[in-house]
Amino acid sequence: MCGIVGYVGPKKASEVIIKGLKRLEYRGYDSAGIATINGSLSVKKGKGKVAKLESLLSSGVEGGIGIGHTRWATHGEPNDINSHPHLSDDGKIAVVHNGIIENYNTLKKNLSDRGYSFYSETDTEVVAKLIESFLEEKPEDLKRAVRLSLAQINGTYGLAIVHEDFPDQIMVARKGSPLLLGIGEGEMLIASDASAVAEYTDKVVYLDDGELAIIRKDGYEVHSSQDEALTKEVHELAMSLDEIEKGGFPHFMLKEIFEQPKAISDCLRGRINPAKGTITLGGIESVLDQLANARRIIIAACGTSWHSGLVGEYLFESLAELPVEVEYASEFRYRAPLIGEGDVMIVISQSGETADTLAALREAKQKGALVLGVVNVVGSSIARETDAGVYIHAGPEIGVASTKAFTAQVTVLTLMAIKLAQHRGTIEDKKAAELIRELDQIPGKIEHVLKNASGIEHISNLFTYAPNFLYLGRSYGFPVALEGALKLKEISYIHAEGYPAAEMKHGPIALIDDMMPVVVIAATDHTNDKMVSNIEEVKARKGRIIAITVEGNKEVENLAEFVTEVPETIDELTPLLTVIPLQLLSYYIAVNRGCNVDQPRNLAKSVTVE
Ligand code: F6R
């Protein structure tokens, strides 16, 4: 949420920053801005996307140092004035910020009483004025001014600061919002996300909460909140440029949908041995006993990751016979949750930075539970704060609507459930071996589903202007119904609801008439008869049935108006196949409606505010 990038070195900073902001635009895109120093501080900013900012810079901005920002508004509507960077009264300090300053009203009042003036509705502007106020006491010490300012701030921040009188340095500080330093040859970068620096360096330092860093073109220093100098580990970034570019696809979302066979193969690589029927998950090996003896497992996540958590619940309960609760991370923390020693929390997050998920993790940890992560972004806050975990290795996901992360999360949860079941002795060797062999086949089966993309496009064309959609599923089809509905609403702005198929009779059935598309996920064997009855009920009320079912399911095919088949698989693995047509359905409908698929309105990838 909000992208930050900064550069100091021999290149034209504005060019590096614009490129970086374009890569970060998926984190927020309602306005953008840049501050550079070339003798004096110069700021360009405004409502709109980074391309618009770029056009403002067409005359060229000189200077080898600067910071930039792409915004997802929290305080103050997206407009030119509220765009970042924000400035001090004397116009010498520029600040970009990701996060929320919770006590900004109090700080603003104090500063106003002392004669500082404010021009925006943002919380960020107080940071520039606060630093300015402390600098007045000791103008030569910018670090002191920043440190004292940070001490007054409640809330979360990733901050980057430049000052005209300190033209060789960028200061950054982190509390609750990700920031990293990119170490180049004779140049340094800072960014909220590694994709913005990957083109220039593969050496990064991740800042931790409470840390403040200063970068100059020839080096960096990191300090704790107590101002002690810290030696930080330098990490190697494993990110290729291909992974963060569209590679011939019109949208990142479509690219990522089509990348799923590879994402799942990457996720399985080195972890399964289909011949022996074994699974290796190095990341949780050391805590396997504790996990296997857990009193209960609590899965906490948000959005799509919460949906994969629901699949996880079904898998853990049926295979490993362990009680599982799936929690919205945002609710968990504010409900005095009963959790403690003996419990295990699994947090699921693509970005590894979702503020609510991070807060749930901290709450569980503080109460004594073992906390495991299922995370995509290596080195992210959640990955670093969990006790152990399993990366999903899906590669960078840039489309705001999550697709390949969902299937890779479900893959990891399946591996964990089987591994745990083997460890607990709750699964027969034959069944485990069968599941592992079938998992190995899943990438190929997804390829097969993707080959029928044009069939799904055809269905999408017929329903592009439907005002509502209903998605129904049972068992493993239910989380998929929720995920299908979420995908549709977030990128096409069509109202859509996902329901357990039987729950339909308790209310939603009243919505069904000959105008209502009803997507039924009918691919699990053990619920087929019941699902067929539910489809009959929809048909009796003239609902327009779009069925996702397995090849050869004639019963369902005869009832549905439109059918998309997926290859047959074991019930537990059906979500990995049935979700694919739903991702494509929402994609094509959104494109037909002229929506910005990769950057849907009001949304941002990585929700780093609570
Ligand atoms: C939906 C979507 C969101 C995320 C949610 C959690 O397509 O992308 O619902 O799933 O914001 O994000 P992570 O997984 O990064 O914690």
Determine the pLDDT at residue 59: 64
Q: Which two tokens stand for residue 397?
A: 């996901």
CATH of the domain at 74: 3.60.20.10
> Is the dihedral angle over the CA atoms 427, 429, 435, 440 positive or is it negative?
positive
2 catalytically annotated = yes
* Cβ-based neighbour number of residue 144 at 10 Å: 15
* Residue 20 host element (H or E): helix 13-24
CA geometry: angle at 151 spanning 145 and 154, to 5°?
130
Distance 606 CA to ligand 1 centre (A): 7
Q: 533: which residues sit within 8 A by CB, 6+ positions away?
A: none
Nearest ligand 1 atom to the CA of 304 is 10
Q: How far is CA 461 from the centre of its chain?
A: 29
Does 260 contact ligand 1 (Cβ within 6 A)? Answer: no
User: Domain tally for the chain?
Assistant: 3
**303 and 382 fall within a common domain:** yes
Determine the pLDDT at residue 25: 82
- Does residue 608 lie within any of the structural domains? no
Closest CA to 107 of 51, 45, 54, 150: 150
133 and 125 Cβ atoms separated by less than 8 Å: no
* Cβ-based neighbour number of residue 349 at 10 Å: 32
* Cβ-based neighbour number of residue 75 at 10 Å: 15
3-state helix, strand, coil in the chain (%, to 5): 40, 25, 35
- Does residue 519 lie within any of the structural domains? yes
Does 350 contact ligand 1 (Cβ within 6 A)? Answer: yes
CATH of the domain at 264: 3.40.50.10490
**Which residues form the domain of 319?**
248-449
**456 and 445 fall within a common domain:** no
Determine the pLDDT at residue 263: 97
Determine the pLDDT at residue 575: 98
Does 491 contact ligand 1 (Cβ within 6 A)? Answer: no
Does 401 contact ligand 1 (Cβ within 6 A)? Answer: yes
Query: Taking the model in full, what pTM does it have?
Result: 0.86
**Pairing assessment for the beta strands 324-328 and 31-38 based on DSSP bridges:** unpaired
302 catalytically annotated = no
**445 and 456 fall within a common domain:** no
Which residues of the chain register pLDDT less than 50?
none
User: What does the chain come to in residues?
Assistant: 610
Testing ligand 1's pocket by substitution, the residue of 251, 252, 302 carrying the most ligand atoms inside 8 A of its CB is 302
Closest CA to 510 of 481, 559, 543: 543
**394 and 485 fall within a common domain:** no
Nearest ligand 1 atom to the CA of 607 is 11
Instruction: Name the domain boundary from 225, 243, 261.
Output: 243
CA dihedral 287→289→291→296, nearest 10 degrees, is -150
Q: Which amino acid is at 10?
A: P
404 and 267 Cβ atoms separated by less than 8 Å: no
Instruction: Name the domain boundary from 220, 243, 266.
Output: 243
**153 and 290 fall within a common domain:** no
**237 and 316 fall within a common domain:** no
Distance 398 CA to ligand 1 centre (A): 11
**368 and 496 fall within a common domain:** no
* Cβ-based neighbour number of residue 340 at 10 Å: 11
Determine the pLDDT at residue 27: 73
Measured in degrees and rounded to the nearest 5, phi and psi for residue 510 equal: -65, -20
Closest CA to 321 of 297, 289, 288: 297
Distance 492 CA to ligand 1 centre (A): 17
Does 31 contact ligand 1 (Cβ within 6 A)? Answer: no
Catalytic residue among 108, 129, 404, 605: 605
Instruction: Name the domain boundary from 449, 479, 499.
Output: 449
